[in-house]
């Protein structure tokens, strides 16, 4: 009975979140990191097809074990030497935070004869620890017409994480800043592989604010699958 109860909970949670997205431009990426295959399958059976993971090995293992019509999203910090493992099949890399990483993704895209879709991660939070470009860095970089030299990547938009705070005004400001930056960049640089249509923002704690500010992809984990347990933490 425990199994069947959990099953309906995951399906229920997905349904509630999807209902809350109706009328918006946002869709749900189910963040399944640390969760077992069985939990992902329950979500799959409930109709979920987009999953996000933040560790390359775990993503590769789950890709092998699960149905092939799943879209896999790499949402975590990606090391250059690991791009090759996901390059053949990854649907979208959310956290591109350096030009060097993009050059490696381009190289692996060429090897796999595909164009790999990416989002640029932008540092929007006031916290110091988060990865990402500053808006100024992206502006400067676009002056170099970078995609002319990167034929195997496309940049579909931006990704950001808001400050972890209870101050909803601050979170909303950070999300709307990211939305404005997306619009500004889209105007400024026209390239067939620079669509700037996507805004990956919003997690379990703040996705309603992200959706209200124009998110097109929310990355939600614990609200679907329950809290995560990490082996090295009590
Ligand atoms: C873990 C993670 C999420 C999902 O977090 P929840 O709070 O469980 O919804 C979203 N984005 C990134 C980048 C993550 O690492």
pLDDT tens-digit map of 168-194: 999 999 999 999 999 999 999 999 999
How far, in Å, from the CA of 145 to the mean position of ligand 1?
Answer: 32
Q: Which residue is associated with the tokens 């399944």?
A: 32
Q: How confident is the model at residue 230 (pLDDT cuts 50, 70, 90)?
A: confident
More confident residue, 84 or 1: 84
CA of 203 from ligand 1 middle (Å) equals: 6
Q: Which atom of ligand 1 is nearest to the CA of 205?
A: 7
Say if residue 141's pLDDT is above 80.
yes
Are the C-beta atoms of 71 and 49 separated by less than 8 Å?
A: yes
Q: Which residues pair with 51 in a beta bridge?
A: 30, 72
Least confident residue range of 1-10, 104-113, 134-143? 1-10
Question: How distant, in Å, are the alpha carbons of 42, 95, 100 from that of 132?
Answer: 33, 8, 13
| Token duo for residue 8 | 């309906």
Ligand 1 mean position, distance from CA 167 (Å): 19
Residues with CB under 6 A from ligand 1: 31, 33, 54, 75-76, 203-205, 219-223
Per residue in 189-212, pLDDT (tens digit) is 999 999 999 999 999 999 999 999
Mean predicted confidence (pLDDT) in 88-98: 97
The domain ranges of the chain are 2-225
Say if residue 220's pLDDT is above 50: yes
Calculate mean pLDDT across residues 33-38: 97
**What CATH number is given for 2-225 in this structure?**
3.20.20.10
Residue 130 banded pLDDT, cuts 50, 70, 90: low
CA of 185 to the centre of ligand 1 (A): 25
Closest CA to ligand 1's atom 7: 204
Q: Which atom of ligand 1 is nearest to the CA of 33?
A: 1
- Ligand 1 mutation target, pool 76, 164, 203, most atoms within 8 A of CB: 203
């Amino acid at each position: 009975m425990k199994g069947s109860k959990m099953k309906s909970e995951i399906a229920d949670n997905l349904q509630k979140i999807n209902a809350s997205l109706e009328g918006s431009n946002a869709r749900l990426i189910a963040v399944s990191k640390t969760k077992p295959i069985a939990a992902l399958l329950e979500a799959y059976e409930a109709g979920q097809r987009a999953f996000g993971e933040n560790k390359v090995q775990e993503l590769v293992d789950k890709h092998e074990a699960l149905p092939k019509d799943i879209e896999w999203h790499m949402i975590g910090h990606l090391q250059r030497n690991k791009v090759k493992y996901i390059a053949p099949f990854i649907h979208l890399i959310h956290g591109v935070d350096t030009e060097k990483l993009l050059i490696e993704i381009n190289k692996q895209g060429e090897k796999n004869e595909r164009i790999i879709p990416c989002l640029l991660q932008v540092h929007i939070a006031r916290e110091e620890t988060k990865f990402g470009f500053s808006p100024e860095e992206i502006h400067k970089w676009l002056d170099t017409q970078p995609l002319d030299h990167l034929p195997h990547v496309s940049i579909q938009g931006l990704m950001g994480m808001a400050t972890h705070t209870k101050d909803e005004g601050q979170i909303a400001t950070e999300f709307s800043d990211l939305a404005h930056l997306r619009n500004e960049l889209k105007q400024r640089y026209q390239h067939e592989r620079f669509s700037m249509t996507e805004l990956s923002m919003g997690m379990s704690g703040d996705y309603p604010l992200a959706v209200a500010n124009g998110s097109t992809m929310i990355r939600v984990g614990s609200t679907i699958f329950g809290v995560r347990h990490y082996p090295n933490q009590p």
